[in-house]
A and B are shown apart, each in its own frame.
Chain A
Amino acid sequence: MENSKWIPTVCYQCKAECAIIARVEDGVLKEIRGNPHARGKACVKSMSGISLEYSPDRLMHPLKRVGGRGEGRFEPISWEEAMEIMTDKLQALRDSGEAHKMTASFFPHSITDPKWRFLNAYGGFLNTALPHCDSAKIVSWIKTTGGVPNHHIPPAWFTVPKGGIMILSGRHAFGGLEDAAIPRDILDAKERGAKLIVIDPMFTPDAAKADWWLPIRPGGDTALFAGMIHYIIANELYDKDFVANWIREGDFDKLTQWAADKTPEQMSPICDIPASDIRKLADECAKAPSVGVDSFKGIMLGNAMDFSHAWCIFLAITGNIDNPGGQPLPDLVPLSPVEPVPTPPDLHELGWHRTGPDRDKFEKFSFIMEPTWYEAQAIRNGDLKILMVAEANPALTEMGDFGWQQAVQEKDADGNYKLDLLVSFELFMSETAKYADLVLPDRSFFERWELLYMPWWYNYGHGVALRQPVVDAPGECRHANDVFIELGKRIVPEYFQFKDLIEYYDIELSGLDLSVEKLQEAGGHWAPGTMGFRKYEQRGGFDTPSQKVHLYWEDLEEAPWDQALPRVAPPAEYVAHAEAFPFYLVSYRTIYHAGSGQWTFNNPQLRDKVSGFHSNPLLMNPAAAGELGISEGDNVTVQSPSGDVEVAVALTERIRPDCVGLAHGFGSTVGAVATAAGGVSDNRLIADAGTTLDYQDLIGGEAHVSTRVRIVT
């Protein structure tokens, strides 16, 4: 293997973006490993990246729609023609003073992203085209400590001491999405004598390794934590020093009052965990040297903020903030600005809201980024004219009954599409691309430059990482970032004075005394040093207005309901329709697939039964199935208040009898592999958040992963 070399780069099979090395032999990608100079691990999705790279389904040339939207008929065009179409439309919209009616959907995985710069310079908006999995956690931590951990910042498990407790509450940590080294770290901590406690309605691979599995009723997490908080306060087991010195005055008293009636006995019927177990867990946590909590599905329900809040309180009163084994708070190292820095348009200043006529109804809900359902709403209102989608698949990701797909097909009185231009950057033909006017062949993560600077990488010890081309791109593929830079140069040239992407990154890196070349020499990544613990002590406080930890959120005291302290009731989406729809839908994840994108679902290795996850049957407990006369392999209809899917049943003891499980993200109708392997979309069962506003949390939380269902044979 003389012409073989290992090149450091960054995986992008999921949003964790692990540092990897790729082996290239005579220009052909052969193997992947975790980057031994970083965290050292890469998961099965990453290993399967080679099948993504060489998929026969890759788009190679720009395409222009010829039929109606959704028909999926295209003809090849030149890049120049595509650029002209986009430039003309964008220029015209901006000239008419309506630049804010342009949106780009992409995953904001790095604040260095030039697409974001283009949006700010142009005057458009970012819409993630993703529901807000972690907004509740982000908002809660900002409110509590002023820090910004998101779900990519789990406790630093490699710092958990002997006797420390690791709690996974609705979190399949062995399934990735955070760094691929997490499973190793958790198991290492266990071998050191730490305890793993898994709280989950399903017996996950994590639960299989746990010291204790608590099969909680879905949505019961807030009640469980409230019961523990009650026990800890009532028995004076809280961290007295931390409470006295670092919690805002008065907050602990308000908490004590609130907690008075949250006895384990009162909480037990809500979460279906025996009061004795609530007490035992609370007692163990209060006495352990550290407690770290991670959650994911638990912060995706309509009461997500309540749970994140309860979890913040629990960690604060047990002294588990920014300590080894507890919740780390990131410390950001700023990059250098690329002058002139464009200012993003201010929605409020513009006196404008995406939801137009429904503004009053929507405005009390503040989402930190706009979720998918705003897109459909805005198109119908005439407030969204140009939509450019990259690395996202809103047509399949959105909840509800094909609202997005209908909206992009809606026409005005003159017979023109209300959405004037829809552009999709993709590796494969996707659900979304089928509706697009222009389908542009993107470059895979093995073919492009990308500087990744992500606050959530903080506790993995790498601050900046470089994705670099390891193989040539096929056909005429161009990276969306390069296309956006060229659009910038054509439309807002004052903000795009740099030569190319490399120069742009070099400027950003200059403050760290780095450059793209230096990063390459340094093995592809740079770390600021150690993570540091209890940084608030040296700094004399937290980044909150009072510089103390806030447990009580007075800004949420008022209407539509009081949320200054957590509400323990089950999530609204579970209370509504409980009689007619007896089962809870558990939409679970596996390590093999990420989101609902074609990247993993159209990958043969990740759909192969030996190396991946083929299709998604409905998981049912045999006892519950038996009562309905359902046997293994039977086809059933799963009905929710807003939709239904037909699926085969797989019986397993690994799920609560009152729950049914459906793996998330399946249901693609394009791609040779994806369609051959089949599967159904769980999203079809979930109501559009815009139609069920009373399920939604005030800030951040969005009822978007679960609902009640019934099974019809």
Chain B
Amino acid sequence: MKQIGMMIDLNRCIGCRTCVVACRNYHELFDHQTADPDNIPYYLRVESRVQGAFPDLTMDTWIRPCQHCPEPGCLDACPEGAIAKDLETGVVQIDEEKCAGCQAETGSYPEEKAKSAPCTATCPAHLNVQGYVNMAALGQFDEALKLIKKENPFPAVCGRVCHHPCEEACSRGEKDTPVAINAIKRFIADLDLDPETRHVPAIKAAKDQRVAVVGAGPAGLTCAYFLAREGYPVTVFEQLPVAGGMMAVGIPAYRLPNDILEAEIRVITDMGVDIRTDVALGDDVTIDTLREDGYDALFIASGLQLTGRLDVVGENLPGVHSSLDILKDAALGNPVELGEKVIVIGGGNAAVDAALTVKRLGAKNVSLVCLEQRGEMPAWEHEINDALEENIEIINGLGPMRFVEEDGRLAGVEFQRCTAVFDEDGGFAPAYDDCELTSMEADSAIVSISLVGEREFAEDGGIALTSAGRLWADPLTLQTRLDWVFAGGDSVHGSTSVIEAIASGKQAAASIDRYVRGLDLKAAEERDWTMAGKVFREQYDTSERVAIPRLAPEEREGNFNELEQTLTQDMVMAEAKRCLNCGCACMQSCPFGVLQFDGKAGISHKCNFCYDLITTGQKPVCAEVCLTDALTVGESELLKQEAESRGLAIIEELSRASHLYVK
């Protein structure tokens, strides 16, 4: 396919916006009547960058029309198949007939519709939720999977364990109940489990620079996935015998079966990523040896592998365990001896998981004791409900004072009443009433308070730590103080979630790509995820939210069978139709934000490279009127040659698709 593009000469563009208005006039985007500056549609905009401090300054300005991407995000996102690439020119066009404006009601809140849907904006990894939900509604599951995997290599995992903040934000929640987004994703993602239907992304031309990743958790593997997609050879070092991090050894199998995780990891290894288990950073390799081995960049995503200590009497007694150890042993199939009566200390998700796991391992009587009152518990609501369903006794407002010893091992725990968990500023500062003591008998206790990371390898390797003891990395670039070493995931951000670890891994991959290509890391563009704030549609499918099938409590005993079940195809399609389509799916996937919603026609529109003009030998309007003759149009490849022959350097961070930005 031929690809036409534009060369934008930053030596010439003065940011005057003559092109913006001329483009609007030619495409008749403005009625010249509306007295509402700032809500006038446009196909291209001027961007600028000022660098330095007075008086040593530089300033660049350039235009941002549709980039007519070789692999357009918008095209993948459109559920109607309304976006296509012209074979003759490579121009990306929207078919007005097919575009449904994501079921817009014509004229309704065009400025709102042009914003991102709340689900997409809220998702830490910014999956194009509205796009895949709509594809699911139409039964286009393959396309939906492809769209999801543009942003997330672990949809089947997330479809099971994600705390889905998208659903909290879902506009449908304002009408009745949110769309069951995660369950829809899970159905789509299960295609990945079958070698026949799974989606392995295309891999770009192989690159020379090698990247090492430490930690095969979601952050590390996501980074590896995105770098492999770009063509980099990636090696992942994992200290455990299995890959997956907390997905493998933290989250219990009744919520995330092993084969699901393995199938998604297999896609990554099939993409060429080399995962080496039983190799620990600090012991088997060090930051220095990795450097010596010729890796060009390193990403550390070692997570938080240790449980914090309580520092109370008896903590080292036999019979006192940490939740992470128990969960890990359960996951790896190591024998676990706990007795009948088990007390879990802690109010977070790991505590709940540990409680439910030991229940499945045979403990008869499991109590969960924590400082917080029910409403203050850090565990997610649905996890607490799971615990209650399975007859876990939850005792709130108690703090452990001592572990009671009998015959050299644990016999019980003594608690004091906790009067307040947080200080006035909301900081963690428990206060106790030591007159009110409670004693409980126990065969075993499982401590599950804060998670902490190992620091030795970092301290030895010269990686700076934060005051909270985590690895320090620049928030925008994830670069550590060692320029070739990047860090992310829980080891940097503290205990978060799988999807946030994925977002962090993706951010690291983008940064590492820039780093090895010698680009300015700070120039990374942070996309503005302005959220649509209104529910637009007056008319919509008023069906109720689907009920997600779950194992009855009695069916769960003594096994690690999956608790929540996958929806059927009919249920998924029906549920997906409940989406109100807050924004437009294409707009949410364009990395350049160039699409707009045409409130009059009720469809989305964008620059079409003045298709009628360029196919009749004329210039597109912007190039025609440019005040400074800054724009040259031609075949992308020829433009590259022209830039070279004119001694113009290509600005890589701007030239991400078919247009060349040169200086």
Contact B11 A612 (CB under 8 A): no
Q: Enumerate chain A residues within 8 angstroms of B629, measured Cβ to Cβ.
A: 184, 187
Chain B proximity of A451: nearest CB distance (Å) = 27
Of B21, B57, B629, the most chain A CB neighbours within 10 A belong to B21
CA–CA, A142 and B55, complex, Å: 37
Q: B592 CB to closest chain A CB, in angstroms?
A: 14
A interface vs B, CB < 8 Å? 30-34, 41-44, 47-48, 50-51, 53-57, 174, 180, 183-184, 187, 203, 205-209, 213, 215, 591-592, 604-605, 607-612, 614, 621, 623, 652-657, 672-673, 676-677
In the complex, which residues 319-337 of chain B have their Cβ closer than 8 Å to any Cβ of chain A? Answer: none
B63 CB to closest chain A CB (Å) equals 11
* Contact across chains for B18 and A187 when beta carbons are under 8 A apart: no
Cβ A611 vs Cβ B42 within 8 A: yes
Question: Of the candidates A41, A604, A623, which one forms a contact with B54 in the assembled complex, judged by CB atoms under 8 Å apart?
Answer: A623
| 5 examples of A-B residue contacts, CB within 8 angstroms | A47-B25, A51-B30, A610-B40, A611-B42, A623-B54
Instruction: Please tell me if B599 contacts chain A, counting CB pairs below 8 Å.
Output: no
- In the complex, A48→B20 CA distance in Å? 10
Contacts A614-B38, A652-B50, A655-B54; A48 near B627 (Cβ below 8 A): no
- How far in angstroms is the closest Cβ of chain B from A213? 7
Question: Chain B: which residue is nearest A44 at the CB level?
Answer: B18
Residue of A nearest to B61 (CB): A205
- Residues in chain B near residue A205, CB distance under 8 A: 14-16, 59, 61
Chain B min CB distance to A57 (Å): 8
Expressed in whole angstroms, the minimum distance between the Cβ of B264 and any Cβ of chain A is: 42
| Given A41-B627, A42-B625, A612-B17, CB of A56 within 8 Å of CB of B35 | yes
Q: Which residues of A contact B45 (CB under 8 A)?
A: 610
Are A203 and B59 closer than 8 Å at their CB atoms? yes
Report the interface size for chain B: residues with CB under 8 A from the other chain. Answer: 41
| Minimum-distance CB pairs A-B, first 10 | A47-B21, A672-B35, A208-B59, A607-B37, A54-B32, A608-B37, A44-B18, A611-B20, A51-B32, A653-B54
A215 and B38 contacting across the interface, CB-CB below 8 Å: no
Chain A nearest CB: distance from B37 CB in Å? 4
* Nearest chain A residue, comparing its CB with the CB of B55: A215
Report the separation of the CA atoms of residues A623 and B54 in the bound assembly, to the nearest whole angstrom: 9
Interchain CB contact (< 8 A) of A608 among B11, B22, B33, B38: B38
| Residues of chain A lying within 8 A (CB to CB) of residue B32 | 50-51, 53-55, 604
Residue of B nearest to A182 (CB): B627
Asked whether, in the complex, the Cβ of A183 is within 8 Å of the Cβ of B16, the reply is yes
Identify 13 new A-B residue pairs, CB closer than 8 A, beyond the known A608-B40, A653-B52, A676-B35: A44-B16, A55-B32, A183-B627, A183-B628, A203-B57, A207-B57, A213-B55, A215-B55, A604-B40, A605-B21, A605-B24, A605-B40, A656-B54
Contact: A47 with B55, CB < 8 Å? no
Q: Kindly state whether residue B58 has any CB partner on chain A within 8 Å.
A: yes
B contact residues around A653 at 8 Å (CB): 50, 52-54, 57
- Tell me which residues across on chain B come within 8 A of A652, comparing CB atoms: 50
B18 touches A43 (CB 8 A): yes
Contact of B21 among A609, A611, A676 (CB under 8 A): A611
Residues of chain A with a CB closer than 8 A to B33's CB: 54-56
Bound complex: CA A33 to CA B26 (Å): 11
Residue in chain B with minimal CB distance to A613: B17
Q: Is the CB of A657 within 8 A of B37?
A: no
The chain B residue sitting closest to A184, CB to CB, is: B628
Residues of B within 8 A of A676 (CB): 35-37
Give Cα A208–Cα B56 distance, bound, in whole angstroms.
11
Are the C-beta atoms of B50 and A654 separated by less than 8 Å?
A: yes
Does B34 interact with chain A (Cβ within 8 Å)?
Answer: yes
Residues of chain A with a CB closer than 8 A to B628's CB: 183-184, 187
Q: Is the CB of B36 within 8 A of A611?
A: no
**B266 partner residues in chain A, CB cutoff 8 A:** none
B151 within 8 A of A: no
Question: Out of B20, B28, B50, which one reaches A44, CB within 8 Å?
Answer: B20
Residues of B within 8 A of A209 (CB): 11, 14
In the complex formed, the residue of A with least CB distance to B12 is A187
User: Is A44 a contact of B21 with CB atoms below 8 Å?
Assistant: yes
Q: How far is B24's CA from A184's CA once the two chains are assembled, in angstroms?
A: 22
Whether A30 contacts B37 by the Cβ 8 Å rule is no
**Quick check: is B80 within 8 A (CB to CB) of the other chain?**
no
Asked whether, in the complex, the Cβ of B16 is within 8 Å of the Cβ of A591, the reply is yes
Interface check B652, CB cutoff 8 A: no
Complex: how many Å from CA A44 to CA B20? Answer: 8
| Closest Cβ–Cβ distance, residue A513 to chain B (whole Å) | 34
Measured between beta carbons, the chain B residues less than 8 angstroms from A592 are 17
Q: Known interface pairs A30-B25, A31-B26. Does A604 touch B18 (Cβ–Cβ under 8 Å)? A: no
Instruction: Tell me whether B111 is interfacial, beta carbon within 8 Å.
Output: no
Known interface pairs A608-B38, A676-B36; A44-B15 also in contact (CB < 8 Å): no
Residues of A within 8 A of B12 (CB): 187
A30: B residues at CB distance < 8 A: 25-26, 28
B624, CB-defined interface residue at 8 Å: yes
Q: Shortest distance in angstroms between B195's beta carbon and chain A's nearest beta carbon?
A: 48
CB-CB contacts below 8 Å: B32-74 with A: 32-38, 40, 42, 45-46, 50, 52-55, 57-61
Chain A nearest CB, measured from B436 CB (Å): 50
